[in-house]
Chains A and B, each alone.
Chain A
Amino acid sequence: MRDKRITLDDAVGQLRSGMTIGLGGWGSRRKPMAFVRAILRSDVKDLTVVTYGGPDLGLLCSAGKVKKAYYGFVSLDSAPFYDPWFSKARTEGAIVAREMDEGMVKCGLEAAAARLPFLPIRAGLGSDVQNFWGDELQTVTSPYPDASGKHETLIAMPALNLDVAFVHLNIGDAHGNAGYQGVDPYFDDLYCLAAEKRFVSVEKIVETEQLVKEVPLQQLILNRMMVDGVVEAPNGAHFTLAGESYGRDEKFQRHYAEAAKTPESWQAFVDRFLSGSEDDYQAAVEKFAEEQA
Protein backbone atom coordinates (compact mmCIF):
# COMPACT_ATOMS: atom_id res chain seq x y z
CA MET A 1 0.00 0.00 0.00
CA ARG A 2 1.18 3.48 -0.88
CA ASP A 3 2.94 5.51 1.76
CA LYS A 4 1.16 8.87 1.59
CA ARG A 5 3.10 10.66 4.29
CA ILE A 6 4.11 14.17 3.24
CA THR A 7 4.88 17.50 4.90
CA LEU A 8 2.49 20.40 5.41
CA ASP A 9 4.38 22.51 2.89
CA ASP A 10 4.45 19.69 0.32
CA ALA A 11 0.68 19.31 0.59
CA VAL A 12 0.09 23.02 0.25
CA GLY A 13 2.63 23.03 -2.60
CA GLN A 14 0.00 21.21 -4.66
CA LEU A 15 -2.41 24.10 -4.18
CA ARG A 16 -2.73 26.72 -6.95
CA SER A 17 -4.07 30.25 -6.85
CA GLY A 18 -7.73 30.40 -7.81
CA MET A 19 -8.56 26.93 -6.55
CA THR A 20 -11.64 25.99 -4.56
CA ILE A 21 -10.72 24.51 -1.19
CA GLY A 22 -12.81 22.90 1.52
CA LEU A 23 -11.73 23.22 5.14
CA GLY A 24 -13.06 20.59 7.56
CA GLY A 25 -13.98 20.98 11.22
CA TRP A 26 -16.67 23.36 12.46
CA GLY A 27 -16.32 26.91 13.82
CA SER A 28 -13.47 26.71 16.31
CA ARG A 29 -13.53 22.90 16.44
CA ARG A 30 -10.94 20.52 14.96
CA LYS A 31 -9.94 22.90 12.19
CA PRO A 32 -6.95 22.00 9.98
CA MET A 33 -5.08 25.00 11.37
CA ALA A 34 -1.57 23.70 10.59
CA PHE A 35 -2.60 23.46 6.92
CA VAL A 36 -4.06 26.97 7.11
CA ARG A 37 -0.77 28.27 8.54
CA ALA A 38 1.05 26.51 5.70
CA ILE A 39 -1.25 28.26 3.20
CA LEU A 40 -0.33 31.56 4.86
CA ARG A 41 3.36 30.74 4.31
CA SER A 42 2.71 30.03 0.61
CA ASP A 43 2.07 32.54 -2.16
CA VAL A 44 -1.26 31.09 -3.31
CA LYS A 45 -4.10 33.58 -3.44
CA ASP A 46 -7.58 34.18 -4.92
CA LEU A 47 -8.93 31.12 -3.16
CA THR A 48 -12.56 30.12 -3.05
CA VAL A 49 -13.20 28.62 0.39
CA VAL A 50 -16.01 26.25 1.41
CA THR A 51 -16.36 25.92 5.19
CA TYR A 52 -18.31 25.90 8.41
CA GLY A 53 -16.17 28.89 9.20
CA GLY A 54 -14.05 29.77 12.19
CA PRO A 55 -10.56 31.16 12.67
CA ASP A 56 -9.45 29.16 9.61
CA LEU A 57 -11.35 31.54 7.38
CA GLY A 58 -10.26 34.45 9.58
CA LEU A 59 -6.55 33.73 9.15
CA LEU A 60 -6.93 33.30 5.39
CA CYS A 61 -8.76 36.65 5.25
CA SER A 62 -5.99 38.30 7.32
CA ALA A 63 -3.56 37.43 4.52
CA GLY A 64 -5.93 38.52 1.73
CA LYS A 65 -6.05 35.02 0.28
CA VAL A 66 -9.82 34.65 -0.05
CA LYS A 67 -11.67 35.77 -3.16
CA LYS A 68 -14.97 34.04 -2.53
CA ALA A 69 -16.43 32.17 0.46
CA TYR A 70 -19.18 29.57 0.72
CA TYR A 71 -20.22 29.14 4.37
CA GLY A 72 -23.11 28.37 6.67
CA PHE A 73 -21.74 30.58 9.44
CA VAL A 74 -18.50 32.00 10.76
CA SER A 75 -17.99 31.71 14.52
CA LEU A 76 -15.21 31.50 17.07
CA ASP A 77 -17.67 29.58 19.32
CA SER A 78 -16.62 31.64 22.36
CA ALA A 79 -16.37 35.37 23.07
CA PRO A 80 -16.02 37.55 21.02
CA PHE A 81 -17.82 35.01 18.78
CA TYR A 82 -17.54 37.00 15.53
CA ASP A 83 -14.21 36.42 13.77
CA PRO A 84 -12.55 39.85 13.42
CA TRP A 85 -10.69 39.15 10.16
CA PHE A 86 -13.71 37.70 8.41
CA SER A 87 -15.68 40.75 9.63
CA LYS A 88 -13.06 43.10 8.22
CA ALA A 89 -12.99 41.36 4.85
CA ARG A 90 -16.79 41.50 4.67
CA THR A 91 -17.23 45.13 5.73
CA GLU A 92 -14.55 46.15 3.25
CA GLY A 93 -16.30 44.16 0.51
CA ALA A 94 -13.08 42.22 -0.07
CA ILE A 95 -14.74 38.84 -0.57
CA VAL A 96 -17.74 37.58 -2.51
CA ALA A 97 -20.08 35.87 -0.02
CA ARG A 98 -22.16 32.84 -0.91
CA GLU A 99 -23.75 32.63 2.53
CA MET A 100 -26.14 29.73 3.02
CA ASP A 101 -28.05 27.75 5.60
CA GLU A 102 -25.82 25.33 7.53
CA GLY A 103 -27.77 22.37 6.19
CA MET A 104 -27.14 23.55 2.63
CA VAL A 105 -23.37 23.11 3.11
CA LYS A 106 -23.89 19.46 4.04
CA CYS A 107 -26.30 19.04 1.12
CA GLY A 108 -23.88 20.60 -1.40
CA LEU A 109 -21.01 18.40 -0.22
CA GLU A 110 -23.24 15.31 -0.42
CA ALA A 111 -24.20 16.22 -3.99
CA ALA A 112 -20.52 16.53 -4.92
CA ALA A 113 -19.71 13.26 -3.14
CA ALA A 114 -22.36 11.47 -5.22
CA ARG A 115 -21.30 13.29 -8.43
CA LEU A 116 -24.76 14.86 -8.73
CA PRO A 117 -25.27 18.38 -10.12
CA PHE A 118 -27.66 19.30 -7.30
CA LEU A 119 -29.80 17.96 -4.49
CA PRO A 120 -33.17 19.42 -3.51
CA ILE A 121 -33.48 20.98 -0.06
CA ARG A 122 -36.12 23.02 1.71
CA ALA A 123 -33.65 25.24 3.61
CA GLY A 124 -33.02 28.56 1.92
CA LEU A 125 -36.54 29.14 0.57
CA GLY A 126 -37.94 32.56 1.46
CA SER A 127 -34.68 33.75 3.00
CA ASP A 128 -31.97 36.13 1.78
CA VAL A 129 -29.79 33.12 0.95
CA GLN A 130 -31.34 33.36 -2.51
CA ASN A 131 -30.22 37.02 -2.73
CA PHE A 132 -26.69 36.20 -1.52
CA TRP A 133 -26.36 33.78 -4.44
CA GLY A 134 -28.38 35.45 -7.19
CA ASP A 135 -28.56 33.32 -10.35
CA GLU A 136 -26.00 30.90 -8.95
CA LEU A 137 -28.77 29.33 -6.84
CA GLN A 138 -31.84 28.00 -8.62
CA THR A 139 -34.97 26.14 -7.59
CA VAL A 140 -36.26 22.81 -8.84
CA THR A 141 -39.89 21.67 -9.05
CA SER A 142 -40.87 18.15 -8.11
CA PRO A 143 -42.23 16.02 -10.98
CA TYR A 144 -44.47 14.37 -8.37
CA PRO A 145 -47.46 16.33 -7.08
CA ASP A 146 -48.46 16.18 -3.41
CA ALA A 147 -51.83 14.83 -2.30
CA SER A 148 -53.55 18.13 -3.13
CA GLY A 149 -52.14 18.12 -6.67
CA LYS A 150 -49.61 20.89 -6.03
CA HIS A 151 -45.94 20.52 -6.90
CA GLU A 152 -43.27 21.47 -4.37
CA THR A 153 -40.61 23.86 -5.59
CA LEU A 154 -37.39 23.48 -3.62
CA ILE A 155 -33.90 24.93 -3.55
CA ALA A 156 -31.67 23.04 -6.04
CA MET A 157 -28.49 23.05 -3.96
CA PRO A 158 -25.59 22.84 -6.43
CA ALA A 159 -22.76 20.40 -5.79
CA LEU A 160 -19.93 21.99 -3.83
CA ASN A 161 -17.15 20.42 -5.87
CA LEU A 162 -13.73 21.06 -4.37
CA ASP A 163 -10.27 21.11 -5.92
CA VAL A 164 -8.66 20.36 -2.57
CA ALA A 165 -9.92 19.36 0.89
CA PHE A 166 -7.94 19.89 4.10
CA VAL A 167 -9.10 18.14 7.28
CA HIS A 168 -7.58 17.34 10.66
CA LEU A 169 -8.28 14.10 12.55
CA ASN A 170 -6.98 12.56 15.75
CA ILE A 171 -5.36 9.41 14.44
CA GLY A 172 -4.47 7.81 11.12
CA ASP A 173 -2.07 5.52 9.31
CA ALA A 174 0.40 6.27 6.50
CA HIS A 175 -2.11 5.21 3.84
CA GLY A 176 -4.98 7.53 4.65
CA ASN A 177 -7.13 5.48 6.96
CA ALA A 178 -8.10 7.84 9.75
CA GLY A 179 -10.49 8.26 12.63
CA TYR A 180 -11.82 10.92 14.97
CA GLN A 181 -11.76 10.58 18.75
CA GLY A 182 -14.41 12.59 20.53
CA VAL A 183 -18.12 13.29 20.26
CA ASP A 184 -18.44 14.51 16.66
CA PRO A 185 -17.00 13.63 13.26
CA TYR A 186 -18.22 17.00 11.93
CA PHE A 187 -18.26 16.72 8.09
CA ASP A 188 -14.66 15.80 7.32
CA ASP A 189 -15.55 12.66 5.37
CA LEU A 190 -17.86 14.69 3.13
CA TYR A 191 -15.16 17.28 2.39
CA CYS A 192 -12.84 14.46 1.30
CA LEU A 193 -15.51 12.82 -0.85
CA ALA A 194 -16.27 16.16 -2.54
CA ALA A 195 -12.63 16.95 -3.46
CA GLU A 196 -10.12 16.04 -6.17
CA LYS A 197 -7.08 16.22 -3.85
CA ARG A 198 -7.53 15.25 -0.22
CA PHE A 199 -5.08 16.04 2.58
CA VAL A 200 -5.51 14.94 6.17
CA SER A 201 -3.35 15.98 9.08
CA VAL A 202 -3.50 13.84 12.20
CA GLU A 203 -2.32 14.15 15.77
CA LYS A 204 -0.38 10.94 15.35
CA ILE A 205 0.37 8.44 12.60
CA VAL A 206 0.30 4.81 13.76
CA GLU A 207 0.38 1.39 12.14
CA THR A 208 -2.96 0.34 10.64
CA GLU A 209 -3.26 -2.45 13.17
CA GLN A 210 -2.95 0.01 16.04
CA LEU A 211 -5.37 2.48 14.42
CA VAL A 212 -8.20 -0.04 14.22
CA LYS A 213 -7.52 -1.12 17.78
CA GLU A 214 -7.62 2.41 19.19
CA VAL A 215 -10.76 3.60 17.41
CA PRO A 216 -14.20 1.96 17.24
CA LEU A 217 -15.17 0.95 13.70
CA GLN A 218 -17.77 3.68 13.43
CA GLN A 219 -15.14 6.37 14.03
CA LEU A 220 -12.96 5.27 11.07
CA ILE A 221 -14.44 7.92 8.78
CA LEU A 222 -11.68 8.05 6.15
CA ASN A 223 -10.49 5.11 4.06
CA ARG A 224 -7.65 4.99 1.51
CA MET A 225 -9.92 6.00 -1.40
CA MET A 226 -10.60 9.32 0.32
CA VAL A 227 -7.05 10.53 1.00
CA ASP A 228 -4.05 11.56 -1.13
CA GLY A 229 -1.68 12.83 1.53
CA VAL A 230 -1.19 12.31 5.26
CA VAL A 231 0.65 14.74 7.50
CA GLU A 232 1.60 14.06 11.08
CA ALA A 233 0.84 17.36 12.82
CA PRO A 234 0.62 17.07 16.60
CA ASN A 235 -1.41 19.97 18.02
CA GLY A 236 -2.25 20.68 14.38
CA ALA A 237 -5.75 21.93 15.16
CA HIS A 238 -4.48 24.53 17.64
CA PHE A 239 -6.05 26.89 18.78
CA THR A 240 -9.31 25.10 18.01
CA LEU A 241 -10.41 22.06 20.03
CA ALA A 242 -9.70 18.51 18.88
CA GLY A 243 -12.04 15.97 20.45
CA GLU A 244 -10.32 13.79 23.02
CA SER A 245 -6.86 15.10 22.11
CA TYR A 246 -7.28 18.60 23.59
CA GLY A 247 -9.73 21.41 24.21
CA ARG A 248 -9.74 24.86 22.71
CA ASP A 249 -6.93 27.22 23.73
CA GLU A 250 -9.34 29.94 24.79
CA LYS A 251 -6.61 32.31 26.00
CA PHE A 252 -4.77 32.09 22.72
CA GLN A 253 -7.94 32.50 20.67
CA ARG A 254 -8.77 35.63 22.65
CA HIS A 255 -5.25 36.86 21.98
CA TYR A 256 -5.75 36.21 18.25
CA ALA A 257 -9.03 38.14 18.26
CA GLU A 258 -7.53 41.03 20.26
CA ALA A 259 -4.45 41.18 18.05
CA ALA A 260 -6.63 41.74 14.98
CA LYS A 261 -7.76 45.12 16.32
CA THR A 262 -4.85 47.31 15.15
CA PRO A 263 -2.19 46.98 12.43
CA GLU A 264 0.51 47.21 15.11
CA SER A 265 -0.87 44.44 17.32
CA TRP A 266 -1.47 42.23 14.28
CA GLN A 267 2.07 42.75 13.02
CA ALA A 268 3.31 41.70 16.46
CA PHE A 269 1.13 38.57 16.29
CA VAL A 270 2.41 37.72 12.81
CA ASP A 271 6.03 38.30 13.85
CA ARG A 272 5.69 36.11 16.90
CA PHE A 273 3.50 33.27 15.61
CA LEU A 274 3.16 33.26 11.83
CA SER A 275 6.58 34.14 10.43
CA GLY A 276 8.28 30.76 10.76
CA SER A 277 7.62 27.05 10.48
CA GLU A 278 4.92 25.00 12.20
CA ASP A 279 7.54 24.00 14.78
CA ASP A 280 8.30 27.66 15.43
CA TYR A 281 4.56 28.29 15.88
CA GLN A 282 4.17 25.44 18.35
CA ALA A 283 7.20 26.62 20.35
CA ALA A 284 5.86 30.19 20.47
CA VAL A 285 2.44 28.89 21.54
CA GLU A 286 4.02 26.90 24.34
CA LYS A 287 5.89 29.97 25.53
CA PHE A 288 2.70 32.05 25.36
CA ALA A 289 0.91 29.47 27.54
CA GLU A 290 3.71 29.60 30.11
CA GLU A 291 3.53 33.39 30.26
CA GLN A 292 -0.25 33.30 30.72
CA ALA A 293 -0.19 30.63 33.43
Chain B
Amino acid sequence: MTSTETVTRAEYCAIACADIFAGAGEIMASPMSTMSQIGARLARLTTEPDLLITDGEALILADTPAVGAKGAIEGWMPFRKVFDVVASGRRHVVMGANQIDRYGNQNLSAFGPLQQPTRQMFGVRGAPGNTINHATSYWVGKHNKRVFCDKVDVVAGVGWDKVDPENPAYKYLNVYRVVTNLGVFDFGGPGHTFRALSLHPGVTADEVADNTSFEVADLADAGVTREPTAEELRIIREVLDPRNLRDREVAA
Protein backbone atom coordinates (compact mmCIF):
# COMPACT_ATOMS: atom_id res chain seq x y z
CA MET B 1 0.00 0.00 0.00
CA THR B 2 1.13 3.49 -0.82
CA SER B 3 1.13 5.72 2.20
CA THR B 4 -1.35 8.58 2.21
CA GLU B 5 0.47 10.27 5.08
CA THR B 6 2.88 12.13 2.89
CA VAL B 7 0.58 13.46 0.18
CA THR B 8 2.31 16.40 -1.47
CA ARG B 9 0.72 19.65 -2.58
CA ALA B 10 1.27 18.62 -6.18
CA GLU B 11 -0.65 15.40 -5.55
CA TYR B 12 -3.66 17.32 -4.21
CA CYS B 13 -3.43 19.48 -7.34
CA ALA B 14 -3.35 16.34 -9.50
CA ILE B 15 -6.53 14.86 -8.03
CA ALA B 16 -8.21 18.27 -8.19
CA CYS B 17 -7.35 18.35 -11.90
CA ALA B 18 -8.75 14.83 -12.27
CA ASP B 19 -11.97 15.93 -10.55
CA ILE B 20 -12.42 18.59 -13.28
CA PHE B 21 -13.44 15.70 -15.54
CA ALA B 22 -15.87 13.99 -13.16
CA GLY B 23 -18.98 13.13 -15.16
CA ALA B 24 -17.49 14.37 -18.43
CA GLY B 25 -18.29 11.17 -20.33
CA GLU B 26 -17.19 10.52 -23.91
CA ILE B 27 -15.56 13.83 -24.81
CA MET B 28 -12.05 15.00 -25.62
CA ALA B 29 -10.01 16.03 -22.58
CA SER B 30 -7.48 18.67 -23.66
CA PRO B 31 -5.09 19.48 -20.83
CA MET B 32 -2.45 22.06 -21.79
CA SER B 33 0.07 21.50 -18.97
CA THR B 34 1.79 18.60 -17.23
CA MET B 35 -0.38 18.90 -14.10
CA SER B 36 -3.68 18.98 -15.96
CA GLN B 37 -2.44 16.16 -18.17
CA ILE B 38 -1.79 14.02 -15.09
CA GLY B 39 -5.28 14.95 -13.91
CA ALA B 40 -7.02 14.00 -17.16
CA ARG B 41 -5.17 10.71 -17.40
CA LEU B 42 -5.84 9.94 -13.75
CA ALA B 43 -9.55 10.51 -14.35
CA ARG B 44 -9.39 8.20 -17.37
CA LEU B 45 -7.70 5.44 -15.35
CA THR B 46 -10.23 5.72 -12.52
CA THR B 47 -13.76 7.03 -13.00
CA GLU B 48 -13.83 8.42 -16.60
CA PRO B 49 -12.64 5.61 -18.91
CA ASP B 50 -14.49 6.99 -21.95
CA LEU B 51 -12.50 10.25 -22.13
CA LEU B 52 -10.55 10.78 -25.36
CA ILE B 53 -6.97 11.94 -24.90
CA THR B 54 -4.27 12.79 -27.43
CA ASP B 55 -0.49 12.90 -27.56
CA GLY B 56 -0.73 16.70 -27.76
CA GLU B 57 0.08 16.62 -31.46
CA ALA B 58 -2.19 14.58 -33.76
CA LEU B 59 -2.74 11.08 -32.37
CA ILE B 60 -5.62 9.87 -30.19
CA LEU B 61 -4.28 7.51 -27.54
CA ALA B 62 -5.87 4.12 -26.90
CA ASP B 63 -3.58 3.66 -23.90
CA THR B 64 -3.16 5.98 -20.96
CA PRO B 65 0.63 6.25 -20.77
CA ALA B 66 2.82 8.27 -18.42
CA VAL B 67 3.10 11.96 -19.29
CA GLY B 68 5.55 12.35 -22.15
CA ALA B 69 5.49 8.62 -23.00
CA LYS B 70 4.17 7.04 -26.17
CA GLY B 71 1.28 4.59 -26.21
CA ALA B 72 -0.94 2.62 -28.57
CA ILE B 73 -3.25 4.84 -30.61
CA GLU B 74 -6.91 4.63 -31.56
CA GLY B 75 -7.34 7.52 -34.00
CA TRP B 76 -6.25 10.68 -35.77
CA MET B 77 -6.72 14.24 -34.52
CA PRO B 78 -4.71 16.74 -36.59
CA PHE B 79 -5.11 20.42 -35.71
CA ARG B 80 -7.84 21.12 -38.25
CA LYS B 81 -9.97 18.33 -36.82
CA VAL B 82 -9.46 19.78 -33.35
CA PHE B 83 -11.32 22.88 -34.54
CA ASP B 84 -14.20 20.66 -35.64
CA VAL B 85 -14.27 19.13 -32.15
CA VAL B 86 -14.19 22.61 -30.57
CA ALA B 87 -17.20 23.69 -32.63
CA SER B 88 -19.00 20.43 -31.76
CA GLY B 89 -18.72 21.18 -28.06
CA ARG B 90 -17.56 17.66 -27.18
CA ARG B 91 -14.42 18.84 -25.38
CA HIS B 92 -13.19 20.13 -22.03
CA VAL B 93 -9.96 22.11 -22.17
CA VAL B 94 -7.72 23.01 -19.24
CA MET B 95 -5.66 26.04 -20.23
CA GLY B 96 -3.05 28.05 -18.40
CA ALA B 97 -3.48 31.76 -17.75
CA ASN B 98 -1.30 34.82 -17.32
CA GLN B 99 -4.33 36.63 -15.85
CA ILE B 100 -7.83 35.64 -14.66
CA ASP B 101 -10.43 38.07 -13.29
CA ARG B 102 -13.31 37.39 -10.92
CA TYR B 103 -15.71 36.54 -13.78
CA GLY B 104 -13.31 34.15 -15.44
CA ASN B 105 -12.01 36.40 -18.20
CA GLN B 106 -8.56 35.06 -19.03
CA ASN B 107 -5.46 36.39 -20.75
CA LEU B 108 -2.61 34.48 -22.37
CA SER B 109 -2.11 36.94 -25.22
CA ALA B 110 -0.08 39.95 -24.11
CA PHE B 111 0.15 42.65 -21.41
CA GLY B 112 -0.62 46.27 -22.17
CA PRO B 113 -2.47 47.98 -25.04
CA LEU B 114 -3.74 45.71 -27.84
CA GLN B 115 -1.77 47.34 -30.66
CA GLN B 116 1.36 48.09 -28.66
CA PRO B 117 1.71 45.66 -25.78
CA THR B 118 4.32 46.02 -23.05
CA ARG B 119 4.93 42.28 -23.11
CA GLN B 120 4.01 39.85 -25.87
CA MET B 121 2.96 36.28 -25.12
CA PHE B 122 1.21 33.81 -27.49
CA GLY B 123 -1.69 35.84 -28.79
CA VAL B 124 -5.20 34.61 -28.02
CA ARG B 125 -4.56 31.10 -29.44
CA GLY B 126 -7.71 28.94 -29.23
CA ALA B 127 -8.98 30.62 -26.05
CA PRO B 128 -11.88 32.60 -27.60
CA GLY B 129 -13.18 29.55 -29.45
CA ASN B 130 -12.69 27.19 -26.52
CA THR B 131 -14.52 29.35 -24.01
CA ILE B 132 -17.49 30.16 -26.25
CA ASN B 133 -17.95 26.53 -27.39
CA HIS B 134 -17.35 24.12 -24.53
CA ALA B 135 -16.33 23.57 -20.93
CA THR B 136 -13.10 25.36 -20.05
CA SER B 137 -11.07 25.13 -16.86
CA TYR B 138 -7.78 26.67 -15.79
CA TRP B 139 -4.68 25.41 -14.01
CA VAL B 140 -2.52 28.01 -12.22
CA GLY B 141 0.63 26.71 -10.53
CA LYS B 142 1.37 29.94 -8.70
CA HIS B 143 -1.72 31.60 -7.27
CA ASN B 144 -0.97 35.32 -6.78
CA LYS B 145 -2.45 38.78 -7.29
CA ARG B 146 -0.74 39.29 -10.63
CA VAL B 147 -2.66 36.32 -12.05
CA PHE B 148 -5.91 36.82 -10.14
CA CYS B 149 -6.32 40.49 -10.99
CA ASP B 150 -9.19 42.97 -11.19
CA LYS B 151 -9.06 43.37 -14.96
CA VAL B 152 -7.23 41.31 -17.56
CA ASP B 153 -5.28 43.27 -20.17
CA VAL B 154 -6.53 41.18 -23.12
CA VAL B 155 -9.68 39.04 -22.99
CA ALA B 156 -8.56 35.83 -24.72
CA GLY B 157 -10.74 33.44 -22.72
CA VAL B 158 -14.28 34.80 -22.38
CA GLY B 159 -15.68 35.28 -18.85
CA TRP B 160 -19.20 34.94 -17.50
CA ASP B 161 -19.88 38.71 -17.48
CA LYS B 162 -19.49 38.84 -21.27
CA VAL B 163 -22.49 36.59 -21.91
CA ASP B 164 -25.31 38.32 -23.78
CA PRO B 165 -28.48 36.58 -22.56
CA GLU B 166 -30.38 37.80 -25.63
CA ASN B 167 -27.94 36.08 -27.97
CA PRO B 168 -28.14 32.27 -27.96
CA ALA B 169 -24.67 32.13 -29.56
CA TYR B 170 -23.32 32.43 -25.99
CA LYS B 171 -25.30 29.51 -24.59
CA TYR B 172 -22.41 27.03 -24.54
CA LEU B 173 -20.04 29.19 -22.47
CA ASN B 174 -19.04 27.19 -19.41
CA VAL B 175 -16.00 28.51 -17.55
CA TYR B 176 -16.05 25.62 -15.18
CA ARG B 177 -13.26 25.42 -12.64
CA VAL B 178 -9.90 26.82 -11.60
CA VAL B 179 -7.35 24.64 -9.84
CA THR B 180 -4.33 26.37 -8.31
CA ASN B 181 -1.51 25.47 -5.95
CA LEU B 182 -3.73 26.84 -3.15
CA GLY B 183 -7.12 25.31 -3.85
CA VAL B 184 -10.09 24.53 -6.05
CA PHE B 185 -12.40 27.27 -7.31
CA ASP B 186 -15.33 27.80 -9.65
CA PHE B 187 -17.53 30.72 -10.72
CA GLY B 188 -20.51 29.84 -8.56
CA GLY B 189 -20.32 33.03 -6.48
CA PRO B 190 -22.93 35.83 -6.80
CA GLY B 191 -23.29 36.83 -10.49
CA HIS B 192 -20.94 34.06 -11.63
CA THR B 193 -18.00 35.25 -9.57
CA PHE B 194 -14.90 33.38 -8.40
CA ARG B 195 -15.75 31.09 -5.50
CA ALA B 196 -13.68 28.81 -3.26
CA LEU B 197 -14.72 25.16 -3.32
CA SER B 198 -11.86 23.76 -1.24
CA LEU B 199 -8.41 24.76 -0.03
CA HIS B 200 -5.57 22.26 -0.14
CA PRO B 201 -4.47 20.95 3.30
CA GLY B 202 -2.21 23.52 4.96
CA VAL B 203 -3.59 26.48 3.00
CA THR B 204 -5.44 29.17 4.97
CA ALA B 205 -8.22 31.48 3.84
CA ASP B 206 -5.92 34.43 4.60
CA GLU B 207 -3.29 33.03 2.28
CA VAL B 208 -5.81 32.84 -0.56
CA ALA B 209 -7.20 36.32 0.19
CA ASP B 210 -3.68 37.80 0.33
CA ASN B 211 -2.92 36.32 -3.07
CA THR B 212 -6.12 37.30 -4.88
CA SER B 213 -6.87 40.90 -5.96
CA PHE B 214 -10.62 40.54 -5.62
CA GLU B 215 -12.91 39.11 -2.96
CA VAL B 216 -13.28 35.31 -3.17
CA ALA B 217 -16.83 34.10 -2.55
CA ASP B 218 -17.38 31.52 0.22
CA LEU B 219 -13.72 31.66 1.20
CA ALA B 220 -14.33 31.46 4.96
CA ASP B 221 -16.56 28.41 4.54
CA ALA B 222 -14.48 26.47 2.03
CA GLY B 223 -13.57 22.99 3.17
CA VAL B 224 -10.37 21.07 2.64
CA THR B 225 -9.53 19.35 -0.65
CA ARG B 226 -10.34 15.65 -0.40
CA GLU B 227 -7.70 13.02 0.22
CA PRO B 228 -6.50 11.01 -2.75
CA THR B 229 -7.32 7.33 -2.60
CA ALA B 230 -4.48 4.87 -2.27
CA GLU B 231 -5.18 3.81 -5.85
CA GLU B 232 -4.95 7.40 -7.11
CA LEU B 233 -1.62 7.88 -5.33
CA ARG B 234 -0.28 4.68 -6.82
CA ILE B 235 -1.34 5.73 -10.32
CA ILE B 236 0.12 9.23 -9.95
CA ARG B 237 3.43 8.06 -8.45
CA GLU B 238 4.05 4.82 -10.30
CA VAL B 239 2.13 4.99 -13.57
CA LEU B 240 1.58 8.54 -14.78
CA ASP B 241 4.39 10.60 -13.29
CA PRO B 242 7.20 8.40 -11.95
CA ARG B 243 9.71 11.21 -12.64
CA ASN B 244 7.73 13.60 -10.44
CA LEU B 245 7.37 16.30 -13.08
CA ARG B 246 4.29 17.47 -11.18
CA ASP B 247 6.36 19.12 -8.47
CA ARG B 248 7.93 21.49 -11.00
CA GLU B 249 4.57 23.04 -11.82
CA VAL B 250 3.64 23.90 -8.25
CA ALA B 251 5.07 26.97 -6.54
CA ALA B 252 6.67 26.17 -3.16
Also in contact, A127 and B120, with CB within 8 A (given A97-B115, A185-B80): no
Contact A125 B158, beta carbon cutoff 8 Å: yes
Contact A103 B83, beta carbon cutoff 8 Å: yes
Contact B127 A91, beta carbon cutoff 8 Å: no
Note all chain A residues with C-beta closer than 8 A to B167.
125, 150, 152-153
Number of interface residues of B (CB under 8 A): 48
For A91-109 the 0/1 string (1 means CB < 8 A from B) is 1110011011111101000
Which of B80, B115, B128, B168 interacts with A101 by CB under 8 Å? Answer: B128
Find residues 169-199 in chain A having any chain B CB closer than 8 Å to their own CB: 183-187
Binding site for B on A (CB under 8 A): 26, 53, 71-75, 81-82, 86-87, 90-93, 96-97, 99-104, 106, 121-129, 131-132, 146, 148, 150-154, 183-187
Q: B206 in the interface, Cβ–Cβ < 8 Å? A: no
Contact A99 B87, beta carbon cutoff 8 Å: no
- Chain B residue nearest to A120 (CB atoms) is B169
**Cβ distance B175 to chain A, nearest Cβ, rounded Å:** 11
**Cβ distance A125 to chain B, nearest Cβ, rounded Å:** 5
Q: How far is the CA of A151 from the CA of B59 in the complex (A)?
A: 37
Contact B127 A101, beta carbon cutoff 8 Å: yes
Contact B168 A150, beta carbon cutoff 8 Å: yes
Note all chain A residues with C-beta closer than 8 A to B155.
126-128
Contact A128 B123, beta carbon cutoff 8 Å: no
Q: How far is the CA of A71 from the CA of B124 in the complex (A)?
A: 9
Note all chain A residues with C-beta closer than 8 A to B169.
122, 125, 152-154
Note all chain B residues with C-beta closer than 8 A to A152.
167-169
Also in contact, A122 and B129, with CB within 8 A (given A127-B124, A152-B169, A183-B58): yes
**Cβ distance B126 to chain A, nearest Cβ, rounded Å:** 4
Which of A87, A93, A101, A187 interacts with B126 by CB under 8 Å? Answer: A101
Give the top 3 A-B pairs by smallest Cβ distance, nearest first: A123-B129, A126-B162, A93-B116
Also in contact, A74 and B122, with CB within 8 A (given A91-B116, A184-B58, A184-B78): yes
**Cβ distance B114 to chain A, nearest Cβ, rounded Å:** 6
For B156-171 the 0/1 string (1 means CB < 8 A from A) is 1111001110111110
